[in-house]
Amino acid sequence: MDRRTFLGTTLLLPAAASAQQAAQPHAHHGGLTPANPSPDPFQRLQGGVPHHLTPEQIGQRSTDSPAPPGPAGRWVTRAALPIPRSEMAWSVENAGRLHVIGGYGEGRVDRGYHHVYVPAEDRWYDAAQLPRGANHVAVEALNGKVYAFGGFYEQNRNAHNNAYAYDPGANEWTPIAPMPRPRGAAAAVALNGRIHLIGGASNPTAERASIGWHEVYDPQANTWEARKALPGARDHVGSTAHEGRIHIVGGRFNTFEYNTGLHHVYLPDRDTWETRAPLPTPRSGHGLAKYRGRFFAMGGEYGLTGPQGITNGVVFGQMESYDPGTDSWQSHAAMPTPRHAVAAQTIGDWIYVAGGGAVTGGGVQSSVHEAFTLG
Residue 162 banded pLDDT, cuts 50, 70, 90? very high
Q: How far is the CA of 52 from the CAs of 98, 202, 363, 369, in angstroms? A: 27, 34, 12, 17
Look at residue 14 in the predicted model and tell me its pLDDT. 39
Choose among 247, 151, 164: nearest CA to 200: 151
CA torsion 34-39-44-50 (nearest 10°) is -140
Is the pLDDT at 24 greater than 80? The verdict is: no
> What average pLDDT does the segment 178-204 reach?
98
Look at residue 115 in the predicted model and tell me its pLDDT. 98
Look at residue 31 in the predicted model and tell me its pLDDT. 83
Tens of pLDDT, residue by residue over 45-92, are: 999 999 999 999 999 999 999 999 999 999 999 999 999 999 987 799
CATH of domain 3-25+34-373: 2.120.10.80
Residue 25 banded pLDDT, cuts 50, 70, 90? very low
pLDDT over 70 percentage in the chain = 93
Look at residue 59 in the predicted model and tell me its pLDDT. 97
Look at residue 29 in the predicted model and tell me its pLDDT. 78
Q: Is 69 exposed, middle or buried (0-12, 13-18, 19+ CB in 10 A)?
A: exposed
Q: Is 319 helix (H, G, I), strand (E, B) or coil?
A: strand
Is the pLDDT at 148 greater than 80? The verdict is: yes
Mean confidence (pLDDT) of the chain: 92
CA distance 343 to 332: 19
Q: How far is the CA of 53 from the CAs of 29, 138, 271, 304, in angstroms? A: 36, 29, 46, 20
CA distance 302 to 252: 9
- Which range among 13-22, 183-192, 251-260 shows the weakest confidence by mean pLDDT? 13-22
Q: Which helix (H) or strand (E) holds 19?
A: helix 15-23
Residue 28 banded pLDDT, cuts 50, 70, 90? low
Look at residue 90 in the predicted model and tell me its pLDDT. 78
Is the pLDDT at 160 greater than 70? The verdict is: yes
Look at residue 308 in the predicted model and tell me its pLDDT. 80
CA distance 184 to 181: 10
> What average pLDDT does the segment 334-357 reach?
98
Look at residue 253 in the predicted model and tell me its pLDDT. 97
- Report yes or no: 122 and 138 within 8 Å, Cβ to Cβ: no
